[in-house]
Amino acid sequence: MKKLLLLFLLPATLLAQPAERLVKVVVAPDRPDWTYKTGEPVRFIINVLQHGNPVPNAMVKYEIGPEKMPATKTQTVAIANGQLAVDGGTMQTPGFLRCIATVQLDGKEYRGLGTAGFNPQDIKPTVENPADFQAFWDAGKAELAKIPLDARLTLMPERCTSTVNVYHVNLQNWAYNSTSRLYGILCVPKAEGKYPAMLQVPGAGIRPYGGDIGNAEQGVVTFQIGIHGIPVNMDPAVYTNLSAGALSGYQNFNLDDRDRYYYRRVYLGCVRAVDFLASLPQVDANRMAVTGGSQGGALSIVTAALDSRIKYLGAYYPALSDVTGYLNGRAGGWPHMFTGGSKTWMDKAEKIKTVSYYDVVNFARRVQVPGRYAWGFNDETCPPTSMYASYNLIPAPKTLELFHDTGHWTYPEETERMNGWLLEKLKK
């Protein structure tokens, strides 16, 4: 069996699962696959349940409209038997129509939503595709290649096991007119040999990382990274303070300058992480794969597009996709920079130009390796319109597994299937 380099992420470890509620408001379109052709009508079925039984005489307020857009239909009605079917109308252009239902019981509000897709395979992106996109990133990678790796590994004895050594890693990375550092936790099997490797690229936020010892104990080198150029083994309070202070809103830092935008260092840092794993004597670097969720899903697609050493990718609900959707009357991707209160100071020509060099749409166009993708129609953080805008452009072999009722979270089965697909591919 060939040994391969695996870059891997388990998004369920990073994103909170939905909390159980005493009362459940369940909303679903009237087709099992939640998918319609443009012009076809949809009915939304609303169920209000407590202890698995219908709640009689509940007052339900529902709103229907294109996802993330103002509602086009709103009504409050009483439902005698806990279930209500409402006419959702249709869409004449490809996209997603959402029904959000809320119920007030005993002083608490309970909420549920269901989303119907209309010709999602025909959704096209709104973001510009710059003529010099490839040249811009080729120049960035050339700058990175001139910077020595300067890998510094510090053993963490308190984290080591009888079969795995754990290190805090500090690498040299690109920075505008300078260099920066990339930090992560490396777990390496102690037994001699060449092993697959696993890079965990992070979802959004600022947090410490503990490393993935479990997979290392099964014979996989794992490397769990942060993206903010700070050590990943500090007291959790440090990251909480940074989240509320110096790194609050990092997604928008220097957005008016394509050379200095925050994610340039991040994207090149993913390539640097591949450099590091490929340099390890314990790693077989003949093949590589990358995967992640949310911001990590975006980084997975970006890394596969930037680095020809990547051979497979798996992405859960990728963020940073078609973010200009809001400027064109529809949902845009996280971080929703062109909507709400931020629109007045974000809707500037230079910022719109910069995002075109970083939007996942324009990396998706350049993906050349087989990929597996997974998300749900109810995602309010990474709207499905934005994700399909990228997915539909990918020219390489691809598979999308839908878990329709999921929001910005994963079922265990979802992660298991993605993992199984990657391992099947990588062990051939």
Quick check: is 321 catalytic? no
The per-residue pLDDT for range 90-101, each reduced to its tens digit, is: 999 999 999 999
| Structure confidence at residue 97 (pLDDT) | 98
Quick check: is 404 catalytic? no
Delimiting residues of CATH 3.40.50.1820 domain(s) in the chain:
5-17+127-426
Please tell me which residue in 284, 307, 359, 379 is annotated as part of the active site. 379
pTM exceeds 0.85, yes or no: yes
Delimiting residues of CATH 2.60.40.1930 domain(s) in the chain:
23-122
- Return the DSSP state at 283: B
Q: Is the pLDDT assigned to residue 153 strictly greater than 80?
A: yes
Helix (H, G, I), strand (E, B) or coil at 273: helix
What Å distances lie between residue 424 and 287, 367, 395, 418, 420, CA to CA? 14, 20, 22, 10, 6
| Structure confidence at residue 325 (pLDDT) | 98
Residues 127-132: contacts with CB under 8 Å, at least 24 apart: 127/322, 127/323, 127/324, 127/355, 127/356, 127/359, 127/361, 127/362, 127/389, 128/324, 128/352, 128/353, 128/356, 129/356, 129/361, 129/362, 129/365, 130/353, 130/356, 130/357, 130/362
Question: Each residue of 234-261: b (16+ CB within 10 Å) or e?
Answer: eeeeebeebeeeebeebbbebbeebeeb
Quick check: is 279 catalytic? no
Please tell me which residue in 294, 300, 321, 386 is annotated as part of the active site. 294
71: its two tokens: 């509602």
322: its two tokens: 């078609």
Helix (H, G, I), strand (E, B) or coil at 244: helix
The per-residue pLDDT for range 43-56, each reduced to its tens digit, is: 999 999 999 999 99
Tokens 């390890």 found at: 280
Pick the CATH number of 23-122 from 2.40.50.140, 1.20.140.10, 3.40.225.10, 2.60.40.1930: 2.60.40.1930
The per-residue pLDDT for range 308-350, each reduced to its tens digit, is: 988 889 999 999 999 999 999 999 999 999 999 888 899 999 9
Tokens 């002083």 found at: 107
Indicate the fold that domain 5-17+127-426 takes in CATH: Rossmann fold (3.40.50)
- Return the DSSP state at 195: B
Q: Which residue, among 390, 396, 395, 398, has the nearest Cα to 123 in the 3D structure?
A: 390
Rounded distance between C-alpha atoms, residue 395 and residue 19, angstroms: 38
Rounded distance between C-alpha atoms, residue 333 and residue 356, angstroms: 13
